[in-house]
Structure formats: structure tokens, C-alpha cells
Amino acid sequence: MRFFILFFIGALGVSFSQTEFNLKDLEKKPTGIVRDYYLWRYISDKKTTLENAKKAYELTQNKNNALQKAMQEKGSDNAEKNPDVKLPEDIYCKQITLESILEELDTFQNSCIAIALKSKIRDLDKIPLQTLKPLQIKIKEAYPVLYEELEILQSKHVSASLFKANAQVFSALFNHLSYEKKLQIFEERIPIKELNRLLDENYPAFNRLIYQVILDPKLDHFKDALAKSNATHSNAQTFFILGINEILRKKTSKALKYFERSEAVVKDDDFSKDRAIFWQYLASKKKKTLESLSQSPALNLYSLYASRKLKTTPSYRIISRIQNLSQEDPPFDTHDPFLWQIFKEKTLSLKDEGAFNAMLKSLYYEKSAPELTYLLSQRNKDKIYYYLSPYEGIIEWQ
């Protein structure tokens, strides 16, 4: 989804992207991914001072890796020129040594100590206990999960301690470990009872972790343990990927149960529901399962397959062309991503259908057909599907 948004911004503002903004301009723009992009460009500009780069960085909504890297490079390039200017906390605290923090412990916020400790978890075995322990104790109350992570890594049997933790601590530590450390830890015995407990906590980060493990080219010992477990309380995505794990181990009947559980817990997500039913069909080969899938109101590969296989008429509606679009230039500037962001958010927030359609009038032009289609598809999600034929009048589609 994030890729689609970035692509859409690019499509909107090919010429607009050459526009340069100063800090005052950017302060007035609406927050969001568009402004973050231009703030990143502003920070990356060699002409931007370190002080102004810091101000721009604080304006960003999502301080992702690209923005952090740009800010860090700005600090490195200006280190000699501005030795007294401190970088933003999330960058500065990753760079400072634990020994330096310990020397002036009372002057550091818990948040900074926590950032520093998290950034050095991968090399924890190289940190002397006399340095680590005072810092760990300092953040215990404010950051209990991080405290538990550090306790586990200092235990004699890391793997056993990890599986005794709750799903929140487990997933946090998993995401902080190096890949090599994960391979080492998960080659040891995995207690199935504890794994079942963790699975049934249905904790979002742990669910994502399970998806990651099953798709990993290695971590086979962990995958084998998952095949021995039996998750009964989870979300649709996790039940589905656990079913795939069973399929890969040729355990079709158990996979079928997971796919049924995946369908049962789906809420307002036709794609996930249809995917679960499709894999139920692959596992069972029952025609009635395929018939159920063919009646889906949603358009996706799974429902499309069912309709084609059974030679039935699908229940969804597809629009490939919007009639009566003007050939003139639209009054709305489709190349300004900031204007588009404001227009899009305002239009989609309208509850009244008449007001919504009135807003769309400025988009009923050939040149703004993509924007019009996007808003219509968002409004009619899971009811009407818009797939405009490209190169209309140039290529004849069959």
C-alpha cells in the first residue's frame, strides 16, 4: 500500500517534483507522506544548515530510515562547523556510547538511554556488566519490555528464557536480534506448550513474527515446532500462514483446519476471506467450497478463478470506462500533490452523497480520470471495481 501511495504521488507530480520549498513553505503544508518527501529533500540539500535541517526533521510525520539517514549525514557533514549542535534524540542517542551516558547518568532522559540500549542489543555480549546493569535498572520502570529483553539476553539459557516471556517481550527481542543470533537461538529446543501460549495471546507483533518465520528460507526448526503446535486464538493472517506451513509439510487435514479458522475470524476483508476459502478448496477439492467462493462479491484472483473454473457469472461489477469525460483541461491542478492530498481527504470525509458528487465535478475530465477513479473506488470499495482501459482509442483490447 505504501508503494502504491508513493507511486501515485510520483504520477501526480512528475513536473511538480522539481519545485523547491523553503522551511517556511513546508511549515504551512499539510502533514503526511507528501510533506515528508519534500522535507527529506530539504534536509538532504547541501545548502540547508544543520539548524534548519533539525527544524525540518521535527516537522516530519514518519521518521523513517531515509529521513534518519539524511539527518545523520547532515550532522556528520557539519560536525566540525557546528560542534555544539546536538542531533535529534532518536539519532544522537544511537551514536553516543553507553560509557558516556553512564558518566553523566543523571543528565540523560530515560528515552535516550532506552534508544541507546536498543541500538546496541545486537552486541550486548560485548558490553561489560558494570556498564550495562546501572543503565538497565535506570529504565526498568519506564521501559519494562526493554528491561525484560536485556534480562533474557543475560540469562544462561537464552532460548528457554525467551519462550517463557510473553508475546510482547518475545516479539520485541526477536526484532532487535541479528539474523545470525536468531538462527542460533531457534536451533535449540522449542517448548511446544509455551509456543502454543504465545500463539494464543494473539499479539499483533508476534503474529507478524510468525508470518516472517514461515516465509524465511531458514529457521526450519522453528517452522517444525509451529507444525507441532495448535493455535486456536489468532487472526486471519496468522491462521492462514500456519495453514501454509502445514501444506509445506504435507499435513493437508491440519492445514484445512487452519484455513477454516482463518475464514471464521475474518472481519470486513473479502480478500482474506476468499483466500482462506480458496486454500480450503485446494486442500479438500470439494466443489461446494469452490461454489461458495464463486459467489463472493469481491473481485480478486481467488473469486475470479472460481468463476472461470465453474463457468459462472461473477456477482461483482467492473467499470472499465467512465463516460462523458471532458477533453478540456481540468480546473483542479492534478500535478500538485499537496492540493491533491487536501482535496482527497476533504472529499472522502464527506458523508452526504450529494456533497461527495459535487466535489467530483472538478475531476470529470480525461486528464483527471485516474484521480476520479481513485476517489470513486474508495467510496464504492468492495461494491464496484474500477479498471480503466489504458491507451483508449490507441490500442484495441479484446
Range of the domain at 75: 23-93
Number of domains in the chain: 2
Residue 326 backbone phi and psi in degrees, to 5: -70, 145
Q: Look at residue 299 and tell me if it is in a domain.
A: no
What pLDDT score does 1 carry?
44
Q: Look at residue 199 and tell me if it is in a domain.
A: no
- Answer whether 225's CB lies under 8 Å from 245's CB: no
Q: Is the pLDDT score of 3 beyond 60?
A: no
Q: Look at residue 353 and tell me if it is in a domain.
A: yes
Q: Residue 318 forms beta bridges with which residues?
A: 385
Q: Look at residue 323 and tell me if it is in a domain.
A: yes
Domain end, chosen from 93, 117, 142, is at: 93
Q: Look at residue 374 and tell me if it is in a domain.
A: yes
Q: Is the pLDDT score of 393 beyond 90?
A: no
Q: Measuring CA to CA, which residue among 162, 173, 224, 223 is closest to residue 198? A: 162
HEC-encoded secondary structure of the chain: CHHHHHHHHHHHCCCHHHCCCCHHHHHHCCCCHHHHHHHHHHHHCCCCCHHHHHHHHHHCCCCCHHHHHHHHHHHHHCCCCCCCCCCCHHHHHHHCCHHHHHHCHHHCCHHHHHHHHHHCHHHHHHCCHHHHHHHHHHCCCCCHHHHHHHHHHHCCCHHHHHHHCCHHHHHHHHHHCCHHHHHHHCCCCCCHHHHHHHHHCCCHHHHHHHHHHHHCCCCHHHHHHHHHCCCCCCCHHHHHHHHHHHHHCCCHHHHHHHHHHHHHHCCCCHHHHHHHHHHHHHHHCCHHHHHHHHCCCCCCHHHHHHHHHHCCCCCCEEECCCCCCECCCCCCCCCCHHHHHHHHHHHHHCCCHHHHHHHHHHHCEHHHHHHHHHHHHHHCCCCEEECCCCCECCECCC
Q: Look at residue 357 and tell me if it is in a domain.
A: yes
Q: Is the pLDDT score of 139 beyond 70?
A: yes
Lowest-confidence region among 11-15, 44-48, 214-218, 325-329: 11-15
User: Residue 199 and residue 194: Cα distance in Å, rounded?
Assistant: 9
Task: Look up the pTM and report it.
Answer: 0.89
Q: Look at residue 362 and tell me if it is in a domain.
A: yes
pLDDT in tens, 206-238: 999 999 999 999 999 999 999 999 999 999 999
What pLDDT score does 15 carry?
53
Q: Is the pLDDT score of 240 beyond 70?
A: yes
pLDDT in tens, 314-340: 988 899 889 999 999 999 888 899 999
Please enumerate in sequence order all residues whose Cβ is within 8 A of that of 102, keeping only pairs 6 or more positions apart, or say none.
131, 134, 135
User: Residue 374 and residue 182: Cα distance in Å, rounded?
Assistant: 42
What pLDDT score does 172 carry?
98
User: Residue 50 and residue 97: Cα distance in Å, rounded?
Assistant: 22
What pLDDT score does 383 carry?
80
Other CB atoms within 10 Å distance of the CB of residue 256? 21
Domain end, chosen from 61, 93, 125, is at: 93
pLDDT in tens, 145-184: 999 999 999 999 999 999 999 999 999 999 999 999 999 9
Q: Is the pLDDT score of 25 beyond 70?
A: yes
pLDDT in tens, 249-262: 999 999 999 999 99
> Cell numbers at residue 116, please?
541507546
What pLDDT score does 153 carry?
98
Q: Look at residue 7 and tell me if it is in a domain.
A: no
- Answer whether 26's CB lies under 8 Å from 56's CB: yes
Q: Measuring CA to CA, which residue among 116, 122, 155 is closest to residue 136? A: 116
Q: Measuring CA to CA, which residue among 3, 2, 49 is closest to residue 22? A: 49
Domain end, chosen from 63, 93, 123, is at: 93
What pLDDT score does 396 carry?
65
